[in-house]
Amino acid sequence: MQPLILASSSPRRKELLQFLQIPFESINSNVDESIDDTMCPDAAVKELASRKAKAIAAAYQERWVIGSDTVVVLDGRILGKPTSRADGKRMLEMLSGRTHDVYTGVAILFGEHCKVFAEKTEVTFWELPEAEIDRYLDSGEPFDKAGGYGIQGYGSLLVKQIKGDYFSVVGLPVSRLARELKSMQADLG
């Protein structure tokens, strides 16, 4: 079997997929990630994960392809990656002292076969004084991450509690993914 393709540019997703101990290569899908504002988060991450996987599957026939997308959701509003320092600060101020949801969608494609699912994890932040938010922004870590933080880095210090899959927050729910992939492969013989 040819190596699976991870339709992603994310170094975190690449690192997490290595836990499955299967050969793969990663290829950036470069898709337009705009979505309808009124979409519910579960549907939005599944749509974006599918869009990323389909873009690669169209160019690489007969290959297993995985696409994924992560968003942060507070009070029903989707927070993507901050567009500026001010936007990052606004997001972290909103998340301070509150519990939000992180949704990660995954699409597994093989020819006309596909499985798409989403995981939700609840994350609670400590109350964050402005000086702590400013220090965190200075680290540069927030800018390529949904919600403006990375739980796997300095952002770990902002987090009081999580409920659900930690790896899904980092960008790929590896444990569920391994099971879904195995089940699809068993069904296909």
Ligand X SMILES: Cc1cn([C@H]2C[C@H](O)[C@@H](COP(=O)(O)OP(=O)(O)OP(=O)(O)O)O2)c(=O)[nH]c1=O
Looking at residue 94, its amino acid is M
Burial class (CB in 10 A: 0-12, 13-18, 19+), 33: middle
User: Closest CB to ligand X among 135 and 187?
Assistant: 135
Site for ligand X in 122-161 (CB under 6 A): 144-147, 149-152, 155
Query: Catalytic positions, please?
Result: 69
In 3D space, the residue among 110, 111, 119 whose CA is nearest the CA of residue 177 turns out to be 119
Instruction: Indicate which single residue of 70, 73, 91, 94 sits in contact with ligand X (rule: CB under 6 A).
Output: 70
Evaluate whether 5 touches 56 at the Cβ level (below 8 Å): yes
- Indicate the helix (H) or strand (E) that contains 56: helix 41-59
**Antiparallel, parallel or unpaired: β 113-125 and 99-110:** antiparallel
Site for ligand X in 26-55 (CB under 6 A): 28, 33, 52
Residues paired with 6 in a beta bridge: 26, 66
Confirm or reject binding of residue 68 to ligand X (CB under 6 A).
Answer: yes
Q: Which stretch binds ligand X (CB under 6 A): 55-63, 68-76, 82-90, 106-114?
A: 68-76
Confirm or reject binding of residue 10 to ligand X (CB under 6 A).
Answer: yes
CB of 130: closest distance to ligand X in angstroms? 21
Confirm or reject binding of residue 102 to ligand X (CB under 6 A).
Answer: yes
Taking the alpha carbons at both ends of the chain, their separation in whole angstroms is 13
Confirm or reject binding of residue 168 to ligand X (CB under 6 A).
Answer: no
**Antiparallel, parallel or unpaired: β 24-26 and 4-6:** parallel
How many residues touch ligand X (CB under 6 A)? 26
Instruction: Indicate which single residue of 4, 5, 8, 64 sits in contact with ligand X (rule: CB under 6 A).
Output: 8
CB of 111: closest distance to ligand X in angstroms? 22
Tally of CB atoms within 10 A around 143: 16
Confirm or reject binding of residue 13 to ligand X (CB under 6 A).
Answer: yes
Given the rule CB under 6 A, which residues bind ligand X? Answer: 8-10, 12-13, 28, 33, 52, 68-70, 72, 81, 102, 144-147, 149-152, 155, 169-171
